A and B are shown apart, each in its own frame.
Chain A
């Protein structure tokens, strides 16, 4: 049965990276960086931002903690820190992401979850419409306040 090799990532858990995803769009298309950088720095390890923005209009530093979101395998809560206009840190400290999962193919979902904290330069998804693109940009700006 397929079921035996399939694993669940609930939508609520996947929401943990929503803020990071939004920021990427901002970084790409709002022209937030005068270095012309194509990347942003959502980071899972609490290290300093790898890129120091050179803009004078960077957003103020800010740390926000998400709601505690229950999902199938536990509870997830994130603390996201923005420093010098970029995501400097995503702390998964309050999350119990992998407890209680038993499966025949245990690493697929775990690797996916771990990889979410990695920096990246590009985003692949089902073809965005031009309007969706603009809306997402607006939404990301709104979230950053």
Chain B
């Protein structure tokens, strides 16, 4: 027997809201200047943004524009404008990651699902920010975005899960990082713990499934940047750390930090990651 996650709580302007979409759970919390009912209405509108993206991009829905595109029944030009927007973003990220992120499947169909969840989540987040909501925290099924104006110490801290399913008896925390006073606001994790080998290696023969790492966590400036790099690093494997070190040296204003867990449990991380680990707790 399971308890359903709470959908909505509101007290003194602080809200907590969850939305089931895209096969996972999105959780928002923060402060609202509105009353309880109006806050809930805005949160539901943010949820609608997620569902609209799902209706457009899901390859699990037979008649979604993306499914029809994959079957060759339509063209990008005939799809909603967001499809070409996401297509362009995917091409741009493929260049930035030196080809390690690719939205083209082993069957050469367009599958942007590696980007759409966080792209849509960012849209929903931006919508809430535009309503005057502050101190927004979002957990998009394990991918995290933090606001700039957080006031509670722990809100700046994000735990990274071990490379096992959260349903596993071994579920627990690998490490805790603290993003206060850093340029980073997003944390995304890729791995096979929850959904098996679902990331293909765009450079492997037949684009075989990537399987040389247990987990990658990327800490970045935007949610999509973190998500794309997490997918790219997982596909790339152990050499991703060196790739990102080189990228950071060449692009200091877009730098990211990465920690990888090897299949045997070993850790490696980019230069600078160590500074992100939360210091052991001191008195508040």
Contacts and interface: CB of A to CB of B under 8 A. Distances in A.
A141 interface: yes
Q: Which 5 A-B pairs have the closest CB atoms?
A: A125-B161, A18-B172, A118-B278, A17-B173, A126-B191
Interface string A104-129: 00011101111111111111111111
Interface string A127-144: 111101111111101000
B187 interface: yes
Contacts of B277: 111-112, 114-115
Contacts of B282: 45
A129 B137 contact: no
Contacts of B15: 36
Contacts of A29: 5-6, 18, 27
B166 interface: yes
B192 to A, nearest CB: 7
Interface in A73-131: 107-109, 111-130
Contacts of A6: 262, 266-268
B5 A133 contact: yes
A70 interface: no
Given A7-B267, A8-B266, A126-B142, A38 B3 contact: no
Given A115-B175, A120-B154, A126-B215, A132 B167 contact: yes
A124 B161 contact: yes
Contacts of A107: 274
Interface in B17-49: 18, 20, 23-25, 27, 29
Contacts of A137: 2-3, 5
B3 A141 contact: yes
B167 A120 contact: no
Contacts of B267: 6-9, 108-109, 112
A7 B238 CA distance: 13
Interface of A: 2, 5-11, 14-22, 24-25, 28-31, 34-36, 38-39, 43-45, 47, 50, 107-109, 111-130, 132-139, 141
Contacts of B10: 36
Max chain A Cβ within 10 angstroms of own Cβ: one of B23, B27, B142, B279: B142
B172 A15 contact: yes
A133 B177 CA distance: 22
Contacts of B173: 14, 17, 20-21, 116, 120, 123
A144 B143 CA distance: 26
24 contacts: A7-B267, A11-B265, A20-B172, A21-B171, A36-B10, A36-B11, A38-B137, A39-B152, A44-B280, A50-B154, A109-B267, A115-B177, A115-B278, A117-B176, A118-B278, A120-B159, A122-B144, A123-B159, A125-B160, A127-B142, A128-B25, A129-B195, A132-B194, A133-B5
Contacts of A135: 2, 166-167
A50 B282 CA distance: 10
